[in-house]
């Protein structure tokens, strides 16, 4: 039975997660908690739904969440799920939970996380909640939930370029000085990619960042984002 938003007062988790290897144990981990009020339901366009407090007389708000892992990033299904989530409520009361855990044969989780953030730049503004394990999903999500259900606005996502720059190196994180220099000589992640892809740009980086320049250039050379 499909969930009718506004009927259930319980937080909901989609039972189809039991068929997704990375998330198979999440429902049981949450529901077996003696203080849990979660219920399993069929959710068509998202993986978790948490009712939010609304002022009297206003329609009930629902925080809708999708769960992604490194293996999802870059796939057509992932793009479709993000688009549906965003447009379901006009970009309001939504979030992505991203699992920073590397499975055998999968992409480095930090690289996948960066790819996810880059894919949202300029098109979709939505919070990403990184978690290191299945056990960390509920406490991290509930911390975010309480922040927005208290009546305050959802925290703004940080500038993706600022949050990604420290990890654009073979030896992350880059120093604060190196990040500041890259911010000064490039105006966006796109211009950084252009800079590291040309001999002239590489020379410019080397001029300002002798010790870090080689690891920065090498990092992007190994990523298929830069051809």
pLDDT per residue rounded down to tens, the chain (227 residues) = 333 444 467 899 999 999 999 999 999 888 877 666 899 999 988 999 999 876 665 667 899 999 999 989 989 999 999 999 999 888 889 999 999 886 666 667 878 888 888 888 778 888 889 888 899 999 989 988 988 877 555 444 445 555 667 777 777 678 888 888 888 887 766 677 778 888 888 898 888 888 888 888 887 776 544 33
The pLDDT score that the predictor gives to residue 64 is: 95
State how far the Cα of 66 lies from the Cα of 46, in Å rounded to an integer.
Answer: 5
The pLDDT score that the predictor gives to residue 224 is: 41
Question: How many C-beta atoms lie closer than 10 Å to residue 170's C-beta?
Answer: 14
Residue 193's Cα: distance from chain center in Å? 21
- Burial (CB < 10 A; 0-12, 13-18, 19+), residue 122, is exposed
The pLDDT score that the predictor gives to residue 52 is: 87
The pLDDT score that the predictor gives to residue 14 is: 94
Question: How many C-beta atoms lie closer than 10 Å to residue 2's C-beta?
Answer: 8
Say if CB 166 and CB 173 are below 8 A apart.
Answer: yes
Q: Which fold has domain 12-149?
A: Rossmann fold (3.40.50)
State how far the Cα of 41 lies from the Cα of 12, in Å rounded to an integer.
Answer: 6
The pLDDT score that the predictor gives to residue 94 is: 93
End-to-end CA distance of the chain: 47
Q: Where are the beta strands (DSSP E) in the chain?
A: 12-14, 39-41, 48-52, 61-68, 94-99, 128-131
The pLDDT score that the predictor gives to residue 105 is: 66
The pLDDT score that the predictor gives to residue 55 is: 62
Tell me which residue of 148, 133, 158, 41 sits closest to 89, measured CA to CA.
Answer: 148
Tell me which residue of 213, 159, 212 sits closest to 189, measured CA to CA.
Answer: 159
């Amino acid at each position: 039975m499909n969930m009718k938003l506004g009927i259930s007062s319980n937080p909901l988790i989609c039972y189809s997660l039991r068929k997704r290897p990375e998330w198979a144990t999440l429902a049981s981990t949450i529901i077996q908690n003696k203080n849990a009020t979660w219920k399993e339901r069929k959710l068509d366009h998202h993986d978790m739904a948490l009712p939010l407090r609304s002022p009297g007389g206003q329609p009930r708000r629902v925080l809708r969440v999708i769960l992604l892992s490194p293996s999802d990033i870059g796939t057509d299904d992932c793009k479709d799920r993000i688009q549906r989530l965003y447009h379901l409520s006009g970009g309001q009361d939504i979030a992505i939970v991203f699992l920073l855990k590397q499975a055998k044969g999968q992409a480095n989780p930090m690289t996948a996380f960066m790819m996810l953030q880059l894919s949202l730049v300029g098109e979709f503004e939505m919070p990403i909640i990184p978690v290191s394990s299945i056990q960390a999903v509920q406490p991290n999500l509930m911390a975010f939930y309480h922040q927005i259900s208290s009546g305050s606005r959802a925290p703004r996502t940080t500038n993706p370029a600022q949050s990604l720059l420290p990890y654009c190196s073979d030896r992350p994180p880059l120093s604060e000085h190196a990040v500041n220099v890259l911010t000064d000589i490039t105006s966006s992640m796109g211009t950084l990619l252009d800079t590291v892809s040309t001999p002239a740009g590489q020379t410019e980086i080397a001029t300002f960042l002798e010790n870090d320049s080689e690891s920065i250039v090498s990092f992007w050379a190994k990523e298929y984002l830069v051809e």
